[in-house]
Amino acid sequence: MKKMRKKILAALLAAVLLLTLPPITALRAEAAPNAADKKACWISFLDIEETLQDKSEQEFTQKLSSMYDNVARYGMNTVIVHVRAMGDAMYPSDYYPWSASLSTDRSHPGYDPLQIMVNLAHQKNLQFEAWINPYRLSRDNKSTASFKATPFYEQFRPYTIEYKAPGGQTCLALDPARKETKDLITNGVREIVRKYDVDGIHFDDYFYVPGMADQLDITSKKANVNALILQVYQAIKSAKPACTFGISPAGNPDNARGQGADIDTWLSAPGYIDYIMPQIYWTDIYMTGSGVKQMFTDRCSAWIKINKSGVPIYVGLALYRVGTNSKTDLGWASSDTNLAYQYVTAKQLGYNGYALFRYQWLEKTIAAEELNHLKNY
């Protein structure tokens, strides 16, 4: 009986796919290669921990080279690499402690990892963007204890928020309302842009996260974040005008606004960002109480409508979800062309490229077919 139900469900999903996806031949014809497209891969602190932590310079360089080769093998031209995930640095910094993701005891590894990251990317014709979480200092009890053990904790403490995350873990974040916070983050960005030949600075969606300052109204959150974004943008352009500044907010526009991301201002007024990259991590076979919803296309369309000034827009795609089973988002388990379909759909709506979250799934067998389809389209 269970096998019969699965067969019926598979048939229903196939029918839905035929109704909602254009033919593969059409996808190929409508998605002619464009060398100007951003085709990026996020390399997060988790990827760094899994592959590059506590390595000698030679080991680090060899493993990173292999990672970049995998990125290029799947047709991508950009890496967005975590250089500060939690008030730390993947390079020798005057403002932040060494990252525990790179060196477990936060000691100097004896070489400059970021210099190697940038140089190697350019040698392989990849653009390099330095990815920063501006406010986050820790994400759970363990990382909180680790940061508190650094001498920087006492320095940052007057403008740090300690809070309980929804799961009950104790976390730390810089207070966006404080001038000291804005200056620290801006100085850290300026340090990177001046010392390294990065092609871009990239912020993600960690602004006012749940639990951090829930008593604050959304207008105040947006004002505090905007003050930082303006200051960072000006610092980047003063140091290196060609360096881009982009942000990757939550894919649900209302959730992004609720976290203090003033997407409406950023996408209608100059001087804030050079591009936007919403994380649209759903398929077009999303089950709701009223039936199947084209969640991916609907969210992509919503962002295009917000983008009043035509800021370059890229779509963040959920590589980490391919092949997974979900009771609501059925597309991931029912097709191996989700990413290709999403890329083409976004292009047709006016998007300029994509980024995949995150690197480790480039090495997973379950993602291979999806990645090959995406590359071919």
**List of domains in the chain:** 35-136+177-376 (3.20.20.80)
pLDDT tens digit string along 238-270?
A: 999 999 999 999 999 999 999 999 999 999 999
Lowest mean per-residue pLDDT among 17-21, 28-32, 303-307, 325-329: 28-32
10 has a pLDDT exceeding 50: no
pLDDT at 75 over 60: yes
Residue 67 token pair = 């990672």
pLDDT in tens, 99-158: 999 999 999 999 999 999 999 999 999 999 999 999 999 999 999 999 999 999 999 999
Average pLDDT estimate for 280-304: 97
Confidence of residue 8 (pLDDT cuts 50, 70, 90): very low
Element (H, E) at 200: strand 200-203
Q: Are 206 and 139 in contact (CB under 8 A)?
A: no
Instruction: Give me the numbers of helices (H) and strands (E) for the chain, helices first please.
Output: 15, 12
What are the tens digits of pLDDT across the range 325-377?
Answer: 999 999 999 999 999 999 999 999 999 999 999 999 999 999 999 999 999 98
Q: CB of 248 within 8 A of CB of 202?
A: yes
Residue 87 CB-half CA count within 13 A: 29
22-69: pLDDT as tens digits: 443 333 333 333 335 899 999 999 999 999 999 999 999 999 999 999
pTM of the model: 0.92
Reduce the DSSP state of residue 164 to 3 states and report it. Answer: strand
How far apart are the C-alpha atoms of 80 and 76, rounded to whole Å?
Answer: 11
Say if residues 193 and 243 touch (Cβ distance below 8 Å).
yes
Q: What is the pLDDT of residue 12?
A: 42
pLDDT tens for 308-317 read 999 999 999 9
Determine the pLDDT at residue 123: 98
- The strand pairing partners of 81, in sequence order, are 43, 130
Please report where in the chains the tokens 């100085």 appear, as a residue. Answer: 187
Q: Can you tell me the distance from the alpha carbon of 67 to that of 76, in angstroms, rounded to the nearest whole number?
A: 12
Looking at residue 17, its pLDDT comes to 42
Cα–Cα–Cα angle for 334, 339, 340, rounded to 5 degrees: 105
Rounded to whole angstroms, the Cα distance separating 199 from 125 reads 12
Neighbours of 110 (CB within 10 A): 8
Residues with Cβ < 8 Å from 106, sequence gap 6 or more? Answer: 88, 97, 98, 99, 100, 146, 150
Residue 98: which residues within 8 A CB-CB, separation 6 or more? Answer: 88, 89, 92, 106, 107, 108, 109
pLDDT at res. 263: 98
Q: Alpha helix (H) ranges present in the chain? A: 2-20, 24-30, 45-51, 57-73, 113-123, 141-148, 152-156, 179-195, 218-239, 253-258, 263-266, 295-306, 331-334, 338-349, 368-376
Q: Distance between alpha carbon 324 and the CA centroid of its chain, in Å?
A: 20
Q: For residues 304 and 91, give the distance between their C-alpha atoms in angstroms, rounded to a whole number.
A: 36
Output the six-digit token pair for 251. 């894919």
167-216 pLDDT, tens digit each: 999 999 999 999 999 999 999 999 999 999 999 999 999 999 999 999 99
Strand pairing class (160-164; 127-132): unpaired
Contact between 54 and 98 under an 8 Å Cβ cutoff? The reply is: no
Q: Given this model, what pLDDT does residue 36 score?
A: 59
